[in-house]
């Protein structure tokens, strides 16, 4: 089955110019081009040590005007009707659990149930410590916060107890459209703890950035196996990963070749792929050309 195509929009760059409304226009163009959704990344703060980014060179400076993704997805929801509104990834420990649950439920209701959360723990110590989070506990905090959100999205009144967050007999209304909340995809390597999160609390997996094709394939089989053991349906797993950026015979980055990479990923079980817009469209004219070409190229890609 052909995967869904999502476009990663540049919340951390100036492709949209000085006016942040430009990103809303980009999202409308994603929908008009027939793609299936948008993905927005998250940082609340950036410290000066972006050189410690674990996956190569961090593509932004510390002073980049980074737009808050849930706020921007709400603006996008207001001007679109169909596309999925996804995060990739939302740094869960940066927002208190009850506030996070409320923000996401509001966005999900407002958009008619189009939210999909890609979540993670974050990587920059300064960002976490500024929010009162010990970086060494960020994994436990993420697990507790997502579990607390699930409780608030499900029960009325809701009660939850954990090391990181506790509440008793509280109401959080309205609930998201889907019972129990929108799909949650946990990112990262498949440690025992992450597998447990995916099976107990999640709906899918986002492989770690730069994971090989073989690693993605074996990881999908592993998650499916754990899903089956837990009595959950492996065929319902959502697997989202970035399209490998491929070049043509002249060594030039090729949109056509990159989109064609969705086929091999779908064969091993990937359900959603995302394309990084700024890799192919460094300015507005480049974005125009990409969106003009996208419907035909994607139709012919797999």
Residue 247 belongs to domain with CATH number: 3.20.20.30
According to the model, what pLDDT value does residue 16 have?
62
Asked if the model's pLDDT at residue 144 lies above 90, the reply is yes
Distance CA 93, CA 77 (A): 24
Distance CA 183, CA 188 (A): 16
Quick count: other Cβ atoms within 10 Å of Cβ 175?
18
CB distance 198 to 186 below 8 Å: yes
CB distance 77 to 111 below 8 Å: yes
| For residues 227-237, average pLDDT | 97
Asked if the model's pLDDT at residue 17 lies above 70, the reply is no
According to the model, what pLDDT value does residue 52 have?
86
Which phi and psi (to 5°) does residue 247 adopt?
Answer: -115, 160
More confident residue, 183 or 50: 183
| For residues 263-277, average pLDDT | 97
The residue count of the chain comes to 302
C-alpha dihedral, 57 to 59 to 62 to 63, nearest 10°: 160
CB distance 89 to 120 below 8 Å: yes
Percent of the chain with pLDDT over 90: 81
pTM of the entire structure? 0.95
Distance CA 248, CA 277 (A): 18
Angle at 41 between CA 40 and CA 43, to 5 degrees: 135
Helices of type H across the chain:
21-32, 69-79, 97-111, 125-129, 138-154, 192-201, 213-229, 255-260, 262-267, 277-280, 284-299
- The SS3 assignment for 38 reads strand
Quick count: other Cβ atoms within 10 Å of Cβ 152?
27
Q: Give me the DSSP letters along 58-98.
A: -SS-TT--PPPHHHHHHHHHHH-SSSEEEEEEEEGGGS-HH
Asked if the model's pLDDT at residue 159 lies above 90, the reply is yes
According to the model, what pLDDT value does residue 59 have?
80
Domains in the chain, number: 1
Asked if the model's pLDDT at residue 283 lies above 90, the reply is no
Confidence of residue 54 (pLDDT cuts 50, 70, 90): confident
- Residue ranges making up the domain that contains 293: 4-299
Round the average pLDDT of the chain to a whole number and report it. Answer: 94
Distance CA 78, CA 76 (A): 5
Confidence of residue 14 (pLDDT cuts 50, 70, 90): low
Confidence of residue 13 (pLDDT cuts 50, 70, 90): low
Asked if the model's pLDDT at residue 12 lies above 70, the reply is no
Confidence of residue 51 (pLDDT cuts 50, 70, 90): confident
For strands 115-120 and 184-187, give the pairing.
Answer: parallel
| For residues 179-184, average pLDDT | 97
Q: Residue 275, preceding bond cis, omega within 30 degrees?
A: no
Confidence of residue 8 (pLDDT cuts 50, 70, 90): very high
Least confident of 7-21, 102-116, 128-142, 183-197: 7-21
| For residues 31-58, average pLDDT | 92
Asked if the model's pLDDT at residue 218 lies above 90, the reply is yes
């Amino acid at each position: 089955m052909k995967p869904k195509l999502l476009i990663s929009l540049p919340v951390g760059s100036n492709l949209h110019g000085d006016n942040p409304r430009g990103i809303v226009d980009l999202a409308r163009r994603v929908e008009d081009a027939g793609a299936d959704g948008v993905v927005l990344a998250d940082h609340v703060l950036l410290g000066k040590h972006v050189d410690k980014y674990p996956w190569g060179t961090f593509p932004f400076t510390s002073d980049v005007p980074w737009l808050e993704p849930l706020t921007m997805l709400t603006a996008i929801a207001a001007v679109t009707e169909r596309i999925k509104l996804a995060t990739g990834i939302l740094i869960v420990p940066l927002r208190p659990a009850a506030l996070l649950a409320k923000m996401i439920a509001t966005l999900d209701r407002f958009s008619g149930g189009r939210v999909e959360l890609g979540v993670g723990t974050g990587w920059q110590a300064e960002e976490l410590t500024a929010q009162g989070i010990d970086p060494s506990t960020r994994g436990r905090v993420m697990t507790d916060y997502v579990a607390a959100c699930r409780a608030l999205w499900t029960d009325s009144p809701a009660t939850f107890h954990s090391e990181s967050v506790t509440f008793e007999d509280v109401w959080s209304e309205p609930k998201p459209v889907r019972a129990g909340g929108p799909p949650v995809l946990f990112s990262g390597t498949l440690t025992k703890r992450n597998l447990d999160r995916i099976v107990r609390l999640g709906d899918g997996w986002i492989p770690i950035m730069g994971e090989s094709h073989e690693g993605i394939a074996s990881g999908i089989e592993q998650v499916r196996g754990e899903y089956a053991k837990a009595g959950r349906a492996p065929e319902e797993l959502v697997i989202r990963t970035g399209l490998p950026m491929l070049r043509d015979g002249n060594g030039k980055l090729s949109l056509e070749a990159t989109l064609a990479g969705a086929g091999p990923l779908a064969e091993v079980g990937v359900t959603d792929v995302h394309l990084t817009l700024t890799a192919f469209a460094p300015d507005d004219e480049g974005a125009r050309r990409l969106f003009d070409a996208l419907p035909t190229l994607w139709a012919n890609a797999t």
